[in-house]
Chain A
Amino acid sequence: DAEITQSPRHKITETGRQVTLACHQTWNHNNMFWYRQDLGHGLRLIHYSYGVHDTNKGEVSDGYSVSRSNTEDLPLTLESAASSQTSVYFCASSLAHPDTGELFFGEGSRLTVL
């Protein structure tokens, strides 16, 4: 079955280290998104991509970067991890534009920055 997977599912790192969270989908969806989830804030958009080589900043993009070199993958990189980036990160993808198509979510990656 086609799916969307995130790795690692859990990670503990230290302040200042670079961290990359992987997101891989096998549906051949053009649209991919990264959100972080924190208590009281719901899901906040970090970065998104509407196709290969297309990347865009969301509302909380500071300290994060993404690249889209193929359809299947959108890795999220924290250049220098900070304690404020401790969160649960969700990757999502959609075939159609969000106006008409649902988002499918990965299982999430829990990141702790000490």
Chain B
Amino acid sequence: QQPVQSPQAVILREGEDAVINCSSSKALYSVHWYRQKHGEAPVFLMILLKGGEQKGHEKISASFNEKKQQSSLYLTASQLSYSGTYFCGTRTGNQFYFGTGTSLTVIP
């Protein structure tokens, strides 16, 4: 039931861009994105609702294609502070599932 994320891990140099994908075999009503720093709790980034809405948060934005049951997170001009593990979250029935995570490391 967990959504599938890709890639599992990515290493970037400062200033480079990255895309993280999240896909589900079930119909999606909304998609959440969270970032977790090492040893800390996940922190909410954004939520996307049905309608193909694209939202932004600083230089981080996301899209949601409900027909394809997919969402993508776009990180532009990455900064060292973007390092962490990114999770998408989706609802199936009454249960809220998180993906397996994508580890993002930004190096100078």
Contact pattern, B 15-44, Cβ under 8 Å of A = 1, otherwise 0 = 000000000000001101010000011111
Report the nearest A residue to B85, measured CB to CB. Answer: A42
Contact pattern, A 70-85, Cβ under 8 Å of B = 1, otherwise 0 = 0000000000000000
Q: In chain A, residues 69-114, which have Cβ atoms closer than 8 Å to a Cβ of chain B?
A: 90, 98-108
Report the nearest B residue to A106, measured CB to CB. Answer: B41
**Across the interface, do A90 and B41 meet the contact criterion of CB distance under 8 Å?**
yes
A12–B100 Cα gap in the complex (Å)?
A: 26
A41 close to chain B: CB less than 8 A: yes
Could you tell me the distance in whole angstroms from the C-beta of A89 to the nearest C-beta in chain B?
11
21 residue pairs bridging A and B, Cβ less than 8 Å apart: A33-B96, A42-B2, A42-B99, A42-B100, A43-B101, A45-B95, A45-B96, A48-B94, A48-B96, A59-B1, A59-B95, A98-B30, A99-B49, A101-B47, A103-B32, A103-B42, A103-B44, A103-B96, A105-B43, A106-B41, A107-B41
